[in-house]
Amino acid sequence: MAIATNFGFPRIGTQRELKKAVEAYWKQKLSAEELSQTCRELRLRHWKLQQASGIEQIPSNDFSLYDQVLDMTAMLGAVPARYDWSGETVDLDTYFAMARGRAGKKGESDVAAMEMTKWFDTNYHYIVPELTADQKFRLASRKAIDEFTEAKEAGMVTRPVLIGPITYLLLSKCEGDAFDRFRLLERMLPVYEELLQDLAAVGAQWVQIDEPALVLDLDEKTLAAFAPTYQRLKEASPSLSLLVATYFGDLRENLETACQLPVDGLHVDLVHGLGQLEAVLKAFPTTKHLSLGVVDGRNIWKTDLGGALGLIREAEQARGSERLMIGPSCSLLHSPIDLDLEVDLDPEIQTWLAFAKQKLQEISTLTQAINGNEESVRLVLEENLEAIRARKISERVHQPHVKYRLEAITSEMSHRQSPFTERALVQRQAIKLPVLPTTTIGSFPQTKDLRKVRADYKAGRIDEATYDSFIKQQIDDTIRFQEEVGLDVLVHGEAERNDMVEYFGEQLDGFTFTKNGWVQSYGSRCVKPPIIFGDVSRPKAMTVDWINYAQSKTSKPVKGMLTGPVTILQWSFVRNDQPRSVTCRQIALAIRDEVVDLEKAGVQMIQIDEAALREGLPLRRRDWEIYLTWAVDCFRLTASRVKDQTQIHTHMCYSEFNDIIPSISDMDADVISIESSRSKMELLKAFEAFQYPNEIGPGVYDIHSPRIPSEEEMAELLRSACKVLPPERVWVNPDCGLKTRGWPEVKESLKNMIGAAQALRKELTTV
């Protein structure tokens, strides 16, 4: 009989109980005991829900107060030295200090948090382990064991989840990379062995070990580390069944290694690695358990159960239904919890969706169907078939006018009239700017008041006229401040925007929004991504009025401010019935119209933010080219309809450009602003080496902290920028938008930034 299983459940709670409890604990409004009570309740609720849904192998230790990788760090006792840890068990405050940093005691400086980075190609962020050459490990947290016992006491034998040793090591930051990280395995494995033995001792039968690294490009050495590692783990706990879980893609050249691991089961992702089933069936021994990830753990669409059954049947035919498991593609951590709570959602669209809770039911239905109970789930299967069919032909989804426009795209549409060198001359004539022109990235501080007014407006508590005049007031103040401080290119400040993607999604056709569709982004932070359900188009101009208003208040140029198509795509739940590139092109056409309207309204500079362009990169190098080609093309399609004298800006808030700089250059933006203050302009070397041809604003003001950078400090950064780039192509700006900062620091910092630009201009003329 096939077994229904799951790989992880969202821990945040339908009412974001975990977020609220953790944040209250941080503010000392909740005791550790109260916090742990909330956590126990959430875990129990989620286990019971899975049980009631028919899931037979339910995960435990998928719960986390902050992050599952940080939990593994605690279990391994790999607490970096700066946290002054006792070396016993990792206590709550040490745990949160690693996640968030610790304020220094009197006279001492603050202790920095550990770094955070994206978990594979999801929008979840994990805490990056920091390991040293002489790193010691010891079992310093019994979380996995305790949570197993907790579930057992509630009558459920769960399958504890651990992050596998190879994935853990690969994701770690190893002190200057100066040593071979795999040398640490020898010291790390005894902790895993002890953990497994302890889990066996309390009654665990299966343990799930996540090795998503198996879907990455791995070198020989890494691949070679798998077999001996798992040999040891297996020998340490012969009575335990080990299930190695891979997800987020296909195994490709790692397939042999994965299939030959000396473990008891393997989980493969058949959603993001759809094509790999046949090869897996060939290579994986029929004596072991094969888990089929057929329900997308990362998206919100109902599974095509008929299609999924087809895949499972293929596996059944090849190896029988003994030792088959049926589950989601990956942990459900990445999907919202419960569709039933979305009472305001359009009823038609609602029938196309499945959140975590509904996905559990899909898994259960599939398992019953395979196990010969097809009759009992016939109705569910029929309903599913109907929903899938209805979505395929729905007029809500398919807009002939959008498809027509898409087909009419020609390659000229992605080219500006003239090459950059010519445009630059025209632009210099049209817009008089000093050398090293100063500007900002778009948003200004979003105060409590501002957020409240926006929320009141959205909830219908204040009328449009009141709202408009409030926003206008904000724009007035922001423009006045920018003039006073002496910025050269102004912005309207984005006071009307809650979020750079949501704001546009709400005004575009083809998007919808949930009330409770929260997904954990990092720690206690959750996001509610828009859902792109249909062909995208723009019913009317979205930003023109506000920019016009701002421009009417000043004689200096005001930049129009838009979010680019790739970023909108990347931060939304995307349709799965057509390639991402097609959806992106539809968004590109919509934003292109907005660009044209802004130009028509007399806006001379338009910034199209592509904050998420880099994070869209596929996990495998071999797939980069295809992605970069369409992503860059979509940007160009958005930006190219304007006259030569209209200056197109783009902004990207990261600093790793080395490997994608040809594509960045290919975007052909007249001006690009990037994050660079934290890396001390280090990244500019990539721009220099590549001879990046257009204008660049390397951020000189780190907006991630309230710290006010001094004039001298920023002047020094500019000096180093001007050494590697021709000064006539350098702009002066912060690293990113200022919306998370407070007004007083922003005022001070920008004053210093302008002082720095003036100082540099002087130096340049005296040379």
Residue 739 interacts with, from ligand GLN, Zn ion, none (CB under 5-8 Å by kind): ligand GLN
Active site residues: 704
Total residues interacting with ligand GLN, rule: CB under 6 A: 13
Element (H, E) at 227: helix 220-236
Q: Does 736 bind ligand GLN (CB under 6 A)?
A: yes
Among 739, 741, 749, 760, binds ligand GLN (CB under 6 A): 739
Nearer to ligand GLN, 35 or 653 (CB): 653
| Span 286-325, contacts to ligand GLN by CB under 6 A | none
Q: Cα-flanking dihedrals φ and ψ of residue 293, to 5°? A: -85, 95
The CB-of-671 to ligand GLN minimum distance in angstroms stands at 14
Report the site for ligand GLN in 448-507 (rule: CB under 6 A). Answer: 494, 500
The H helix count followed by the E strand count for the chain is: 27, 21
d(CA 32, CA 146) in angstroms, rounded, equals 16
List, in sequence order, every residue forming a beta bridge with 126; answer none if it has no partner.
117
Question: Minimum Å distance from CB 459 to ligand GLN?
Answer: 23
Sign of the torsion angle spanned by Cα atoms 258, 260, 262, 266:
positive
Residue window 546-565: x/- pattern of binding to ligand GLN, with contact defined by CB under 6 A: ---------------x----
What Cα–Cα distance (Å) separates residue 728 from each residue in 424, 456, 671, 676?
Answer: 11, 46, 12, 19
Indicate the residue whose CB is closest to ligand GLN.
737
Amino acid present at 436: L
Which residue has tokens 């991630």?
704
* CA angle (365 as vertex; 155, 60 as ends), nearest 5: 35
DSSP code at position 249: S
Choose the stretch contacting ligand GLN; rule: CB under 6 A; options: 176-184, 234-242, 296-304, 733-741. Answer: 733-741
Residues with Cβ within 8 Å of 747's Cβ and at least 6 positions away in sequence, in order, are: 481, 485
Burial of 123-156, coded b for 16+ CB within 10 Å and e otherwise, reads: bbbbbbbbbeeebebebbbbbbbebbbbbeeeeb
* Subset of 592-611 contacting ligand GLN (CB under 6 A): 609, 611
For residue 481, the minimal CB distance to ligand GLN (Å) is 15
What's the closest the beta carbon of residue 709 comes to ligand GLN, in angstroms?
18
User: How many Å apart are CA 133 and CA 184, to the nearest integer?
Assistant: 8
- Return phi, psi of residue 328, to 5°: -75, 165
Site stretch for Zn ion (CB under 5 A), options 162-170, 330-338, 360-368, 609-617: 609-617
The answer to whether 6 touches 58, Cβ cutoff 8 Å, is yes
Task: Specify the stretch interacting with Zn ion by CB under 5 A; choose among 97-105, 319-327, 370-378, 733-741.
Answer: 733-741
Q: How far is the CB of 560 from ligand GLN (least distance, A)?
A: 11
- Binder of residue 442, out of ligand GLN, Zn ion, none (CB less than 5 to 8 A by kind): ligand GLN
Q: Which residue has the tokens 């997904």?
A: 519
Instruction: State the Cα–Cα distance between residues 119 and 179, nearest whole angstrom.
Output: 24
Q: How far apart are CA 717 and CA 709, in angstroms?
A: 11
500 binds, among Zn ion, ligand GLN, none (CB under 5 to 8 A by kind): ligand GLN
Provide the minimum distance between the beta carbon of 497 and ligand GLN in the complex, in angstroms, as a whole number: 8
Based on CB atoms, which residue is closest to ligand GLN, 525 or 621?
A: 525
Q: Which is nearer to ligand GLN, 348 or 506 (CB)?
A: 506
Per CB under 6 A, does 653 bind ligand GLN? Answer: yes
In 3D, which of 392, 344, 384 has the Cα closest to residue 361?
Answer: 384
| Residue number of the CB atom closest to Zn ion | 653
Tell me the two tokens of residue 90.
């990792």
Which lies closer to ligand GLN via its Cβ, residue 26 or residue 654?
A: 654
Give dist(CA 50, CA 359) in Å, integer: 10
Rounded to whole angstroms, what are the CA distances from 734 to 336, 654, 663, 731, 751? 34, 12, 23, 10, 12
- Residue 443 binds which entry of ligand GLN, Zn ion, none, with Cβ cut-offs from 5 to 8 Å by kind? ligand GLN
Kindly tell me which of 373 and 705 has the beta carbon lying closer to Zn ion: 705
324 contact choice in Zn ion, ligand GLN, none (CB below 5 to 8 Å, kind-dependent) = none
Comparing CB distances to ligand GLN, the nearer of 259 and 598 is 598
Q: Which of 737, 753, 754, 757 binds ligand GLN (CB under 6 A)?
A: 737
425-444 positions binding ligand GLN, by CB under 6 A: 441-443
CA atoms of 208 and 325, how far apart (whole Å): 13
Looking at 38-46, 181-189, 597-605, 736-744, which segment touches Zn ion (CB under 5 A)? Answer: 736-744
Applying CB under 5 A, among 736, 738, 746, 753 the residue interacting with Zn ion is: 736
Nearer to ligand GLN, 18 or 611 (CB): 611
Q: Which residue has the tokens 């010291």?
A: 187
**Closer Cβ to ligand GLN, 277 or 561, answer by number:** 561
3-state secondary structure of 431: coil
**DSSP code per residue over 583-629:** HHHHHHHHHHHHHHHHHHTT--EEEEE-TTTGGG--SSGGGHHHHHH
> Site residues for Zn ion, window 638-667 (CB under 5 A)?
653
Q: Which is nearer to Zn ion, 608 or 653 (CB)?
A: 653
Q: Residue 181 or 492: which CB sits closer to ligand GLN?
A: 492
Q: Label residue 464 exposed, middle or buried (CB < 10 Å: 0-12, 13-18, 19+).
A: exposed
The entry of Zn ion, ligand GLN, none near residue 668 (CB within 5 to 8 angstroms by kind) is none
Q: How many residues does the chain have?
A: 767
What is the rounded CA–CA span in Å between residue 565 and residue 558? 22
Nearer to ligand GLN, 261 or 598 (CB): 598
Q: Which does 185 bind (CB under 5 to 8 A by kind): Zn ion, ligand GLN, none?
A: none
Q: Measured from the CB of residue 155, what is the shortest distance to Zn ion in angstroms?
A: 49
Q: Which residues contact 730 (CB under 8 A, 6 or more apart)?
A: 435, 436, 695, 696, 697, 698, 718, 721, 722
Choose the one of ligand GLN, Zn ion, none that binds residue 402, judging by a C-beta under 5 to 8 angstroms depending on kind.
none
The nearest distance, CB 653 to ligand GLN, in angstroms, is: 4
- Reference 263, options 293, 216, 230; nearest CA is 230
List the single partner that 667 binds among Zn ion, ligand GLN, none, CB under 5 to 8 Å by kind.
none
Counting contacts by CB under 6 A, is residue 330 touching ligand GLN? no
- Of ligand GLN, Zn ion, none, which one does residue 561 interact with (CB within 5 to 8 Å by kind)? ligand GLN
Residue 697's binding partner, choosing from Zn ion, ligand GLN, none, with beta-carbon cut-off 5 to 8 A by kind? none
* Residue 192 CA to its chain's centroid (Å): 29
Which amino acid is located at 126 in the chain? Y
Footprint of Zn ion on 610-639 (CB under 5 A): 611
Radius of gyration of the chain (CA): 27
CA 226 to chain centre: 28
Identify which of residues 237 and 439 has a Cβ nearer to ligand GLN in the complex.
Answer: 439
Number of residues that bind Zn ion (CB under 5 A): 3
Min CB(548)–Zn ion separation in Å = 25
Backbone dihedral angles phi then psi of residue 505, each to the nearest 5 degrees: -55, -40
Q: Tokens representing 764?
A: 């340049």
- Please, what is the minimum distance in Å from the beta carbon of residue 491 to ligand GLN? 8
Considering the complex, what minimum distance in angstroms separates the CB of residue 734 from Zn ion? 9
Question: In the bound complex, what is the minimum distance in angstroms from residue 444's beta carbon to ligand GLN?
Answer: 8
Q: What is the DSSP letter of 301?
A: B
Kindly list the residues in this chain that would bind ligand GLN in the complex (CB under 6 A): 441-443, 494, 500, 561, 609, 611, 651, 653, 736-737, 739
Kindly list the residues in this chain that would bind Zn ion in the complex (CB under 5 A): 611, 653, 736
